[in-house]
Chains A and B, each alone.
Chain A
Amino acid sequence: EIVMTQSPATLSVSPGERATLSCRASQSVSSNLAWYQQKPGQAPRLLIYGASTRATGIPARFSGSGSGTEFTLTISSLQSEDFALYYCQQYNNWPPLTFGGGTKVEIK
């Protein structure tokens, strides 16, 4: 099973600042990595797939990078609606599909 590790667990950022979230895989997942955003009481929403491709309707301030075992989600200028939980997920080697433990982006 591929273990996905996200850091930090909590990220405190001021509105308008940049946020950088990390996701590490226990073995290579190539570029088969997705990022999701989840707000309280809502289902996860796909932000990024293929490590760097924005899903339909996702603003350009969200960008993904990396391949192999190290990945980054960057939010260039945080808006109020961006404060949420973020999860990474690998779909390179399954079963099982695996998610990271999540990073909470909170208002500083």
Chain B
Amino acid sequence: QVRLKESGPGLVKPSETLSLTCVVSGYSISSGYYWGWIRQPPGKGLEWIASSYHSGSPLYNPSLNSRATISLDTSKNQFSLKLSSVTAADTAVYYCARAPGDSSGLTDAFDIWGQGTTVTVSS
């Protein structure tokens, strides 16, 4: 059974960098699929942040103005998100998820999600 689990600090100060990790069990991230991050501000909808294929270039939401960096660590079977220069607007539940795809692109929707981790940006 494939499982994803997010971890990271629950509180980040404004202007600092938010760092999250998603540990994957039951499937090797180097075997395929896109691995990504989605967030949900309190009481609001879902926003895609970034996704990466194990052998391709990451893709990002332009709305984040190049503040996001996603990276895959195949040796640890996990992937991470860094979001720089955070503000209160980055307060959200952050989910990691996988989506089918290949080197040409996504072929389907996010089929497995982590439980989510809450990040609050506050001094």
| Contacts from A to B (Cβ < 8 Å) | 1, 34, 36, 42-46, 49-50, 55, 87, 89, 91, 94-102
**Complex Cα spacing A98 to B99, Å:** 14
Interface size class, chain B = 20 to 34
| Contacts from B to A (Cβ < 8 Å) | 45-48, 51, 59-63, 95, 97, 99, 105-106, 108-111, 113-116
A-B contact list, 27 entries, CB within 8 Å: A34-B109, A34-B110, A36-B109, A42-B115, A43-B97, A43-B113, A43-B116, A44-B95, A44-B110, A44-B113, A46-B109, A46-B110, A49-B109, A87-B45, A89-B46, A91-B106, A91-B108, A94-B48, A94-B105, A94-B106, A95-B48, A95-B59, A95-B60, A96-B48, A96-B63, A97-B51, A100-B45
A4 to chain B: closest CB distance in Å? 10
**Complex Cα spacing A58 to B106, Å:** 22
* Contacts A99-B46, A100-B45; A45 near B113 (Cβ below 8 A): yes
**In the complex the two chains form, is A96's CB within 8 Å of B61's CB?**
yes
**Complex Cα spacing A36 to B48, Å:** 14
Residues of B within 8 A of A96 (CB): 48, 61-63
* Contacts A96-B62, A101-B45; A43 near B115 (Cβ below 8 A): yes
A-B complex: 5 closest residue pairs judged by Cβ atoms: A34-B109, A43-B113, A97-B48, A96-B61, A99-B46
